[in-house]
Structure 1
Amino acid sequence: MKLGVIADDFTGASDIALTLSDGGMRTAQFVGIPKRTPDRDIEAGVVGLKSRTIKAAEAVEASLAACDWLIAQGCSQVVFKVCSTFDSTDEGNIGPVAAALAERLGETRVLVCPAFPENGRTVYQGHLFVKDKLLNESGMQNHPLTPMRDPDLRRVLSRQTDWPVSHLSVTGLRTNPNTALDVLAGRSMVIADAITNDDLFAIGRAAKERKLVVGGSGIALGLPENFGAEPGATGWQGHDGKAVVLSGSCSIATREQVETFRAKAPSRELAASDIMENRLSLQELVEWTLQQEQAPLLYSSAEPETVAAAQQKYGKEESSEAVERLFASLAAALSQSGVTRIVVAGGETSGAVVSGVSAETLEIGPRIAAGVPALKVAENELVLALKSGNFGGPDFFGEALSVLGGRS
């Protein structure tokens, strides 16, 4: 294994795994730290953790364990993959994890860039934009777990770590990417501007000798070339069996996708109040799902005010964990009852589903949308699509079901 990735959630893991696979590296995505030695021909290993919103100390511990495992497999470079909207709070977890990884790897200068231009995420003058809006005006300021109210990534990161935070402007990057970091003296985390994919390829060249890189999946665009890889097609066989869509994300994009899919498919809302007050029967939900002739949608996606009210009444962590437990149980029961295609929306929901179906290794298939590949669970016939909340167009659910079924 040449390149290792530690992803702070499961959708982010599949996102960057797709980028590396498209870049020509034989890539495997692991659900947590593998218990078995991976195939010898795997060039890039992506360890998916569920560490984005847990306590910072726990995130550090899990990330260091993943790092140690990747280094033991032969990796010479590690990527800490975070969300392209830099999801975190003032307590972490990006800064604490990045600092701990840098110290473990003996790195003194860490490139940090969450840019993903294909999905409208760009960094300019150290500020993160979502399409034409600053991060704090994009809807992310209403995220129920990681509200992002400051678009200046230098300030965000400075509140999370005692490492100095510096800035690599897009002008400095484009002038000479091979020596762009040389002008920055001393120990620091370096917020790098990136507006286009060409900038991300330049960051990849600048990161060639770095032991640690931090960013979204876009930062991996230029890394395969450093390892001698060339883009190539991967084989894929879908599974056109019974299917379901599970949506727990409350992002603007996902809520639009839910409404689009509801207009043409059976659907059931899993309201937080019904979950918390035990008004839902797992067996009844499974039976209802299996009775539908076309793939149905089960969703807990709701407006920010509804989510906030539920958190206020039942507790933020308690309500989130209860929703995740239900999705995990649903995924387990449905996969055991013959469902072979599951489309999932939301990072936390994806983590719950992957845990529920007891997946250990995910094989990377074709692209469904920017940042979202088709995935096959190596241990059985189940195929998945794990979508970060903000990714995909209005008809993503329908498109994902087609690709998972082997249809383009």
Structure 2
Amino acid sequence: MSAAAFPEGLLLAYYGDDFTGSTDALEAITAAGVPTVLFLRPPTEEMRARFPAVRCIGLAGSSRGRTPEWMDAELPAVFARLAALGAPVLHYKICSTFDSAPHVGSIGRAIDIGVRQMGGRWSPMVVGVPRLGRYQMFGNLFVTWNGTTYRLDRHPTMSRHPVTPMDEADLSRHLARQTERRIALIDMAEIRAGKAQARQEALAGADTPVVLIDVMDEATLAEAGRLIWENRGGGIFSASSSGLQYALAAHWRSLGLLPATPGLPQAEGVETIAVVSGSCSPVTAAQIAHARANGFHTERLDLPRALADASREAETARAVDVALNALKRGKSPVIFSAEGPDDPAVTGFDATAAALGLSRADAARRVGSVLAEIMRRMVESRAVRRVTVAGGDSSGEVMEALNVFALDIAAGLAPGAPLCRAHSDDAIYDGLEVVLKGGQMGPAEFFTTVRDGTPRGAAPRSRSA
């Protein structure tokens, strides 16, 4: 990268609304050739000093599962710290399936908070990511799953998500439920006709509107990047998927500022890995089934015992013993809470929680905390040095339980789910290899790829969703 061609200092700072999305963004910008580090808690000067060459800093968060009231209390200070780093673009990284609702994970509320911090005359939004099978056309989001592309509100999984069911593909309409801010669109016809710049200038204003930008292919992706970079002014806030990183990188590459053939190192294989999964996605279910058929030991967590105060420790210890015994036999353990959306553990979850006097949200966090404790004990046994977590909320719980303050990229595996390297002041955790996998990410053989590595000369496969 030709650093002299860029502004001094950071080019981009971002906050990830969950941990898997945070590593997705980390991968996108690192693979483009921009040195990047993801912090798991607000970095001190000493932490930052460990990474003197970075041009992008991320901070992993958990706002996707939080209420607007939580956002009002927590995000202003977080955004202020990131803005103080001086990057011209402050990115609130959202899921490329736009997971959100007025009562939980409100993207609109995050935008209102972020715009107050950064100002600017517009707040651009890029959601489409062609490389990941996400396409925005005339403001509507389409998602590819199992080789078929669905409008978001007809997607087999996202349309019936247990927390944020996506019943609206028109992102302007969906977002309007979450904010009173003006929302506009630069559509693909305007981009194709060369009218995007004029449209941006007409839309920008003192009220700082959200401006969605259609992205359906590499050309529209690069144009989105150009629009954002050339119209960043004194600083802008953007709630976007990793499409923002891909868009900026495409524009910078067109200017010759980044390598023409970006990429990541290939992952080497290891003898064993350890996996914990709190995902109820059918994609993850297929990965668990594939792992079971390919030499892994898969073990279901007994949810009623894991949730109950009297039996939680015993169930945690049982799962750890099973996992460590598997590792001793040279088998990689997968400890999971559910196997797909139709699993009785999922369909009966509300009843299980209610029987124990727990709300759905409290019960879900308790499952995550049990999986986190299982993973912590496995790592601290020193029996495994490469670990995987499936599920966005579970990834956040696990990483908060481990003594790790930052991640950077070690190698590519599947788009959106890279192999990361942990940084810690504790030798047990420093250098630990970590994969955080969202529920919709990766092919069926994903867990075996994490264990066996990527074949020489093979490009990482695209995600299934």
Query: TM-score range, shorter-chain basis?
Result: over 0.9
CA distances 1:30-79 after superposition (whole Å, capped 9, x unpaired): 11312344133210001110111111132244333232222222212111
CA distances 1:326-345 after superposition (whole Å, capped 9, x unpaired): 11101111110012111111
Q: Kindly indicate whether residue 390 of structure 2 is the aligned counterpart of residue 377 of structure 1.
A: no
1:330-345 matched pairs, under 5 angstroms: 330-338=374-382, 339-345=384-390
Stretch of structure 1 that moved more, 386-395 or 312-321: 312-321
Q: Kindly indicate whether residue 346 of structure 2 is the aligned counterpart of residue 311 of structure 1.
A: no
Shift of 1:407: 11
Q: Which residue is 2:7 aligned to?
A: none
Q: Tell me: CA distance 1:226–1:68, structure 2 relative to 1, closer, same or farther (3 Å).
A: farther
TM-score by length of 1: 0.93
Q: Secondary structure at the match of 1:181?
A: helix
Q: Distance in 2 between matches of 1:173 and 1:341?
A: 44
What is the one-letter code of the residue matched to 2:248? L
CA distances 1:250-294 after superposition (whole Å, capped 9, x unpaired): 112111111111222211011432322336532222222122122
What is the one-letter code of the residue matched to 1:367? G
Q: Which runs of 5+ in 2 are unaligned?
A: 1-9, 354-358, 425-429, 459-465
Q: Distance in 2 between matches of 1:77 and 1:185?
A: 16
Q: Kindly indicate whether residue 48 of structure 2 is the aligned counterpart of residue 3 of structure 1.
A: no
Q: Distance in 2 between matches of 1:407 and 1:386?
A: 24
Task: Tell me if structure 2 keeps the 8 A contact 1:144–1:308.
Answer: no
Shift of 1:22: 1.3
Q: Which residue is 1:172 aligned to?
A: 190
Q: Which residue is 1:198 aligned to?
A: 219
1:260-339 matched pairs, under 5 angstroms: 260-264=290-294, 265-277=296-308, 278=311, 280-292=314-326, 293-305=330-342, 306=344, 307-314=346-353, 315-338=359-382, 339=384
Say how many residue pairs are matched.
Answer: 408
Q: Tell me: CA distance 1:403–1:59, structure 2 relative to 1, closer, same or farther (3 Å).
A: farther
Q: Tell me: CA distance 1:229–1:374, structure 2 relative to 1, closer, same or farther (3 Å).
A: farther
Task: Tell me if structure 2 keeps the 8 A contact 1:52–1:59.
Answer: no
Question: Alignment partner for residue 353 of structure 1, among 371, 375, 398?
Answer: 398
Q: Tell me: CA distance 1:130–1:239, structure 2 relative to 1, closer, same or farther (3 Å).
A: closer
Q: Which residue is 2:441 aligned to?
A: 391
Q: Which runs of 5+ in 1 are unaligned?
A: none
Q: Secondary structure at the match of 2:453?
A: helix
Task: Tell me if structure 1 keeps the 8 A contact 2:140–2:171.
Answer: yes
1:71-90 matched pairs, under 5 angstroms: 71-90=83-102
1:179-190 matched pairs, under 5 angstroms: 179-186=198-205, 187=207, 188-190=209-211
Question: Alignment partner for residue 258 of structure 2, among 230, 238, 246?
Answer: 230
Q: Distance in 1 between matches of 2:360 and 2:456?
A: 39
Task: Tell me if structure 2 keeps the 8 A contact 1:239–1:383.
Answer: no
Q: Secondary structure at the match of 1:4?
A: strand
Question: Alignment partner for residue 242 of structure 2, among 184, 208, 217?
Answer: 217
Question: Alignment partner for residue 254 of structure 1, among 279, 284, 294?
Answer: 284
Q: Which residue is 2:3 aligned to?
A: none
Q: Distance in 1 between matches of 2:288 and 2:303?
A: 17
What is the one-letter code of the residue matched to 2:214? D
CA distances 1:328-383 after superposition (whole Å, capped 9, x unpaired): 10111111001211111111111112112121110112221111211010121310
Identity %: 26
Shift of 1:174: 3.0
Stretch of structure 1 that moved more, 11-20 or 117-126: 117-126
What is the one-letter code of the residue matched to 2:367? V
CA distances 1:3-47 after superposition (whole Å, capped 9, x unpaired): 101110111111011111111111001113123441332100011
Q: Kindly indicate whether residue 61 of structure 2 is the aligned counterpart of residue 22 of structure 1.
A: no
Q: Secondary structure at the match of 2:64?
A: coil
1:51-70 matched pairs, under 5 angstroms: 51-70=63-82
Q: Distance in 1 between matches of 2:183 and 2:197?
A: 21
Q: Distance in 1 between matches of 2:362 and 2:442?
A: 29
Stretch of structure 1 that moved more, 235-244 or 168-177: 235-244
Task: Tell me if structure 2 keeps the 8 A contact 1:273–1:310.
Answer: no
TM-score by length of 2: 0.82
Task: Tell me if structure 2 keeps the 8 A contact 1:7–1:81.
Answer: yes
Report the RMSD for the aligned CA atoms in angstroms: 2.4
Q: Tell me: CA distance 1:272–1:405, structure 2 relative to 1, closer, same or farther (3 Å).
A: farther
Task: Tell me if structure 1 keeps the 8 A contact 2:129–2:246.
Answer: no
Please identify the structure whose Cα radius of gyration is greater: 2
Q: Distance in 1 between matches of 2:117 and 2:225?
A: 22
